[in-house]
Amino acid sequence: MRSDAKKNYDQLLEVARKVIAEQGVNASLRDVARQAGVGIGTLYRHFPTREALLETLLGASFDQVTNQAAAYESSKTSDRALASWLRDMVALTYDHRGVIAAMTAAIEDEQSALHGACVLLKASGARLLAKAQAEGRARADIDGTDLLALVSALAWLNDQPPFAARVDRLFGLIAGAIMIPSA
């Protein structure tokens, strides 16, 4: 990448990070380009889709949760590992209003730039769930998609002003419904 291009690229990312933190994932891309002092075409050149921009912004965080899940597997009991993953997932979406809907859509859209990272994320949770189920610490009648649905629902609640303050309590209620208390 030419150095002038690199400069624009970095500037776009910096501004996008700020704007998306403030206005959510559906913020105006035109506005991002404007604030970055760059033509709108330059934004599209570097990030052909909104998902591509999000992937660049958040991909590392996604991967970190995926990797963390693997680490939990060897460092925690299966039920605690699962609970930690759930917590990490909610935290991942915490500061990015609307990202959970984008992730949900990406799971089904193989063309999405977010698809890969989201599929790995889902698989990392499914693995922890399976282990907890094998040890009788999680109810057996749900699968990885159900688990993802439940965390996604919590993440969505967190985006809704009237409900955001109760997410911690509701997290407990839902985690409690997934887990089986030890005898």
φ, ψ of residue 161 to 5 degrees: the values are -50, -45
Binding-site partner at residue 24 among DNA, a second copy, none, CB < 5 to 8 Å by type: none
Among 13, 18, 49, 98, the residue binding DNA under the rule CB under 7 A is 49
The residue written with tokens 């570097």 in the block is 46
Length of the chain, in residues = 183
Q: State in angstroms the smallest separation of the CB of 57 from a second copy.
A: 22
Q: Is 8 exposed, middle or buried (0-12, 13-18, 19+ CB in 10 A)?
A: buried
Nearer to a second copy, 91 or 173 (CB): 173
Contact 51, 112 (CB under 8 A): yes
39 touching DNA, by CB under 7 A = yes
DSSP 83-99: HHHHHHHHHHHHTSTTH
Among 108, 110, 111, 183, the residue binding a second copy under the rule CB under 8 A is 108
Q: State in angstroms the smallest separation of the CB of 176 from DNA.
A: 40
Which structure tokens are listed for 21? Answer: 């933190």
Contact 106, 52 (CB under 8 A): no
Q: State in angstroms the smallest separation of the CB of 162 from a second copy.
A: 5
> Which residues of the chain form contacts with a second copy (CB under 8 A)?
101, 104, 107-108, 139, 141-142, 145-146, 148-150, 152-154, 156-157, 160-163, 166, 169-170, 173-174, 176-178
> Which residues of the chain form contacts with DNA (CB under 7 A)?
1-2, 4-5, 8-9, 26-31, 37-42, 44-46, 48-50
